[in-house]
Amino acid sequence: RLCNLVVKRLSNAKGPRVKDDNSQATAQTADAVETLPRRRRMRWWGWLLTILGTLLCMAVSAWFGWGAVGQRRLDELAAEIRSRGEPLDWKDLAGPPVPDDQNAVSLYVRAGEELSGPKGRYSAADVERLMELLENVVGDPTFRREHRAEVAQLLEIARDSLALLPQAAARPSADFGTDFRDSAANWKLPRLSGILRLANVSALWAVEAHEAGREAEALTTVGHVLRLARCMGRGPGVICNLVSMHIGRQAMEALEQMVSRPPAAPLEPASARQARAVIADLLDEAPARQAWRQALMIERSSQYDIFERMRRGETVLWGQEPFRQYGIPTWVTGPLLAWGELHCVKATTSLLEGAKETTYPAALRKMDDGPDSYQALRRLAQEGEGSLAYRVAFILFPAIDVDVHYEHLARRRLAATGLAMRLYELEKGKPVAALADLVAGGYLKAVPADPFSNKGEPICLKADPKQPLLYSVGKNGLDEDGAFTLDADGRVSRDSPDVVFFLHGDRPAGKVIWREPKRPATSATKPRP
């Protein structure tokens, strides 16, 4: 009995423990089953993060590796440019200081500023109103005759400024005050509006002197305008060069008016010598060509300097810090800026190589040769077909119409030939039958070549009794017998098929944009109260 009782007690004691062990095992099994998907999920997240991290590291490596390739190519291009002796760094453009008494720019700026302020009995408003005449008065003889009083007042105001032209022409240097130690983004130009007015009023003075019979004075004034254009062409950048071309065009429009109505009597020896000096000045194109190349070099150096400073986070462009205004640090955008800088410098270098050619077709061939040429890079940058680096390059891309330089050369040659024709007519007493007569008579060394001609043909004469013309074939390269078109304002369009020089002064003047001032009502016309 005792043994049975012990066995029974022992059996009852083991039962619950076995039951508890089974419950614990069951619970552990359930926990294990529940934990398995969580572990699997954690394992997949780990793999996913590892893959994303690897891809990110690869992208960062590719990004900065791409930037290193661009930087290496940029360094090679910079070394090539410097090996040719051409400036690239902005500071390399700094020249020796120019004494003020030898600086022509300061006198030209002063002469231009004196045209804008009050003068004697004329208030600033009167001067401004009269200056608005300059847009029409030189190239429109009818308008000039209708406003004789205003023209006389305008020349009276400009007398002191015009007196400074001979002094400025005698100064050999041109210093525009550009600080090449500072950033190229801070590069400032003098006020050009006054200088443009000075050129316009000088051309008007020449035309008026010619019509008054003061031929030597008229030709001397045209020479001063050409020297002003030459001085502005030595200024920094393409803007100054374009201003120089515009000033030269004013001189050529004045010559158009002067050769259309030659004086009745033969020229005096002094006037003839001055006419030959103007012809020689127009045909001396070395300063104009050098100024065009120098302007492109300055543009390239400014691009290089601004991009380098942008990459270092130093340059504020147009009042903003590129990329940093969006919270993007410069070390992130460095590779993109390196490639943008490379494309921009390549394009300007190609443009500069084309500027070394003497004809427009040869320049186009040089600038459209290969994927790194100016024309190819310009299409990619402007049409948005290239990568993001081309869009960045477009920030400072030199979007320049190259034909303006060769059009300027063509106009110089046409004007020189037109003046030689009138000089021949005055001295020989008969008109020019063919341009070869000018060479035979010693008025020209050779008939000037057409810079738009593909084979170097000379400029052309259209001997039309109604409207005789000298002309260049223009940028399309086709001889269309002096054809020209008019723009919306009635002026000769710059997109005309040919570049023309009118020998009878009948260039279409276009619409007059100057409005007559309102005159005060007299006592006879005042309305009754």
Share of the chain above pLDDT 90, in %: 38
Sign of the alpha-carbon dihedral angle for 160, 164, 165, 166: positive
Dihedral angle over CA of 64, 69, 72, 74, nearest 10? -100
Question: What is the model's pLDDT at position 46?
Answer: 76
**HSE of 280, CA atoms in CB hemisphere, 13 A:** 7
Distance of CA 272 to the CA centre of its chain: 37
Residue whose entry in the numeric block shows the structure tokens 């926990």? 31
Query: What tokens does 153 get?
Result: 């007042």
Question: What is the model's pLDDT at position 384?
Answer: 56
pLDDT-derived band at 141, boundaries 50, 70, 90: confident
Question: What is the model's pLDDT at position 378?
Answer: 75
- Asked if residue 319 has pLDDT above 60, the reply is no
pLDDT tens readout for residues 339-367:
888 888 988 898 898 898 999 999 988 88
Sign of the alpha-carbon dihedral angle for 352, 356, 361, 362: negative
Q: What is the pTM of this model?
A: 0.84
Write down how long the chain is: 529
- Asked if residue 129 has pLDDT above 80, the reply is yes
Mean pLDDT of the chain: 83
Q: In this structure, are residues 393 and 340 in contact, taking their beta carbons and an 8 Å threshold?
A: yes
Q: Cα–Cα distance between 271 and 268 in angstroms, integer?
A: 5
pLDDT tens readout for residues 484-521:
999 888 888 888 999 999 998 888 887 776 666 554 43
pLDDT-derived band at 226, boundaries 50, 70, 90: very high
Q: In this structure, are residues 195 and 243 in contact, taking their beta carbons and an 8 Å threshold?
A: yes
3-class SS of residue 388: helix
- Asked if residue 7 has pLDDT above 60, the reply is no
pLDDT, mean of residues 183-190: 80
Residue whose entry in the numeric block shows the structure tokens 């046409």? 414
Q: Cα–Cα distance between 344 and 311 in angstroms, integer?
A: 14
- Asked if residue 17 has pLDDT above 50, the reply is no
pLDDT-derived band at 266, boundaries 50, 70, 90: low
Q: In this structure, are residues 245 and 404 in contact, taking their beta carbons and an 8 Å threshold?
A: yes
Q: Which residue has the higher pLDDT, 120 or 325?
A: 120
Q: Cα–Cα distance between 384 and 85 in angstroms, integer?
A: 34
pLDDT, mean of residues 248-271: 80
